[in-house]
Amino acid sequence: MTRSQAYLLLGIKEGASISAIKKAYRSKAMELHPDRNPGRDTHDLFIHIVEAYDLLSNPNKTQTRSTSRTYTARSQSESSKSSAPNSKFRSRTHNHKNYQDFQESYEERYERAKRKYEEDFDKKSFQIYANNLEEYQSGYQRKIVKVLAAFGIAFCFLFLLDHYMPVQEENVQIEELEYRKFEGGEYSKRATFVYEHQNFDLFFRDYHQIHSSRWKIIAIKTSIFKDAKLIKFISLYDNQVKVVLHQRYSIHHYSFVFTILFLFPFLSLFIEKPTFNFVFFGIYYNLMAFPLMMLFLLFHEMRIERILSHFF
């Protein structure tokens, strides 16, 4: 393969810059990669694309080996010339120093070209991740993550303290339970009540019971965030708990998961590596997902209002 053929194969003009050659090579290689386009013809073309790029990216090369008919004819011609008296070869069976390379099978050439492409792809990917990590460590982003890590540790401490501290009981009036709606199937029909912006479920079989008797209603709340874990209906006749309203969604149900999410910005400061997982998940979670999660938890069900009312 000549340099002119290599330019034509990559679809660029002769004398193109190295960056243009690399860009054309990446585009062609991605388009013709055998994993995307199985078939013998595609495999052959993919190999020629790799050889064309290898030729154009190395200015010292003048041509590459080819499996075309032209190369076969040229080999036969050179072989016949080698039998002449003035031939530089000692015999017709003299092996060229790269003779074994010329005898590569199609599968060997395909595997070699595929390995070269994958090695180039891995090197370029590593360089991209390394550049992103260096920019992250030397810029303002890591400083922001340090602040978020401190905030996450503080919030995690408060959350665990709130989760494991003894709960508090608070009397509730029936008027404070705002009826929302009925939902569910015939056998799982339930009513939704709202208490201090928190949703609680009551099964249909108990709905009429709470309006037909006299109750002492107690809300079981956490000490810091004032999250009502459940609401008990205690009968005034026998002082027994008859009906319990459970909170539908609560961060206390998934305490282990939220503990890891709170501590991840702090932990990520010790696992910084130029890998895809850290660059595209770790960094973007710290800078985008973590602040949004914290804002959601603070303002969901007006939790920030309950916290402030507790301290002020």
pLDDT, tens digit (0-9, with 9 covering 90-100), for 239-267:
888 888 888 778 888 888 999 999 999 99
pLDDT of 132 > 50? The answer is yes
Whether residue 173 lies inside any domain: the answer is yes
108 and 7: one domain? yes
What's the pLDDT at 215? 86
Residues in a beta bridge with 181: 192
Whether residue 215 lies inside any domain: the answer is yes
Whether residue 127 lies inside any domain: the answer is no
State the residue for tokens 């997902």: 289
What's the pLDDT at 186? 55
Query: Residue 184: helix, strand or coil by DSSP?
Result: coil
What's the pLDDT at 254? 85
91 and 174: one domain? no
What's the pLDDT at 188? 59
What's the pLDDT at 90? 45
Q: How far is CA 128 from CA 68, 132, 208, in A?
A: 37, 6, 64
The arithmetic mean of pLDDT across residues 23-50, rounded, is 76
pLDDT of 152 > 90? The answer is yes
- Total structural domains within the chain: 3
What's the pLDDT at 78? 44
156 and 177: one domain? no
Task: For residue range 180-216, list pLDDT tens digits in order.
Answer: 766 666 555 777 888 888 888 887 767 777 766 788 9
The arithmetic mean of pLDDT across residues 74-95, rounded, is 45
87 and 216: one domain? no
What integer best gives the mean pLDDT of the chain? 78
**Local structure of residue 305 (DSSP, 8 states):** H
Of 49, 44, 43, give the one whose Cα is nearest residue 12: 49
Residue 86: pLDDT band with limits 50, 70, 90: very low
Query: Residue 26: helix, strand or coil by DSSP?
Result: helix
Q: Among the ranges 29-43, 91-105, 298-312, which has the highest mean pLDDT value?
A: 298-312
277 and 215: one domain? no
Whether residue 235 lies inside any domain: the answer is yes
264 and 230: one domain? no
What's the pLDDT at 220? 92
* Residue-number span of the structural domain to which 33 is assigned: 3-114
State the residue for tokens 């932990």: 267
81 vs 35 pLDDT, higher one: 35
What's the pLDDT at 21? 83
Residues in a beta bridge with 170: 219
What's the pLDDT at 292? 94
**Local structure of residue 94 (DSSP, 8 states):** P
